[in-house]
Each structure stands twice: as structure tokens, then as C-alpha cells.
Amino acid sequence: MKKVTMAGLIIVLFIICAITSLLLGLVNEITEDRIAEITAENTRLAMQEVLQADSYDEVEYTGGDSQVTGVYKAGDAGYVVEVSVSGSQGMISMVVGVDTAGTVTGVSIVDMSETPGLGDKASEPEFRSQFVGTTGDAAVDKDGGTIAALTGATVTSRAVANGVNAAVAAAATIG
């Protein structure tokens, strides 16, 4: 029977790790562009959902809110603001439509990793529609506001409200 040495085990482990890393890098290289295309398309559809316009032209946002990741002028209708807020299980990426009067016209969740059956209900129209008509004062009912928090997902509900408020504030600094 052949005796296995510590050096032999290390070499085998190194080879396995090198091959695995090479394969992961190759898969990333192959899928990176397609993932970026899908993300851009989802964002474009979300923009149309929250504020209808013929074009969405990116404008420079010079405010200091790090939650705001992009601002787009939506023709003469107002602005669409991309925000990324911290939820209970990770970041929630969303777009918020804000009309020229500073009123929320819609909210769309682009990406999130909240708890299935609880926090992920933030993407449902019944929850998101509560923000339509707010003007930067969105707060969940547990905090004295009018937004009915998702049962068992108050952190997620607060995060979405904070994102909506950040979007309205960002649009106000531009418009």
C-alpha cells in the first residue's frame, strides 16, 4: 500500500483548487456580459413602470446620499432615481419615479435577497403602491407613518421607505 505524505495531499489540493478557480473564472467571463445586459433591461423596464417617458437621460447627482446610485431625467415627467438600501438580508436595489411636483409615481424593486415569504413581499404591487403619492415623508405605521409594514419584515419595510425618501430628496436637489 502506498503511503500518502502531507506534501502529496497539499499538491493534490492545490491542483483541485487551481482547476476550480480556472473554471469559475471562465464561467464568469462567459456570463458577465449577459448578466449586465439582463440587469440593464430589468432596470429599463422598472423605469418605465414607475414613470412613463420617451427617454431616460442620466443626470449628475451631486448630493451626498450614498444610497442614491443614479438619477435619470424622464422627459418632462420628472425623474427616476435608482437607490440601493440595506434590508434585513442584504441590499435592496430599487427605482423610484418622482414627478415634477416631487410626488412619488411608483416604486419598483429591481433586486433583493430578502427572506422568502416575508421580506420578499416588498416587491408585490400591494406593498409598493402604498408609496405612490408620498412626498419624501414615507414611514411605516410602527414609526407613526401611513405605510403598512410587511408582517415579520419591518426592517425591509423601513428600508424601502428610507429608499423612497432618499429618491424624493435626490430628485429635489436636481429639479
Contact 167, 83 (CB under 8 A): yes
Q: Are 120 and 114 in contact (CB under 8 A)?
A: yes
Question: Per-residue pLDDT tens for 32-62?
Answer: 999 889 888 888 889 999 999 999 999 999 8
pLDDT reported for residue 1: 60
What is the Cα 53 distance to its own chain's centre? 21
Q: Which helix (H) or strand (E) holds 109?
A: strand 104-111
Q: Which residues of the chain have pLDDT under 50?
A: none
Q: Give the sign of the dihedral formed by CA 83, CA 73, CA 33, CA 116.
A: positive
- For residues 62 and 145, what is the distance between their CA atoms, to the nearest angstrom? 29
List residues bridging with 72 in a β-sheet.
58, 80
pTM of the model: 0.80
The residues, ordered by sequence, that sit 6+ positions from 114 with a Cβ below 8 Å of its Cβ are 87, 88, 89, 90, 92, 120, 122, 153, 156
pLDDT at 175: 60
Q: How far apart are CA 116 and CA 57, in angstroms?
A: 34
Whether the CB-CB separation of 117 and 111 falls below 8 Å is answered with no
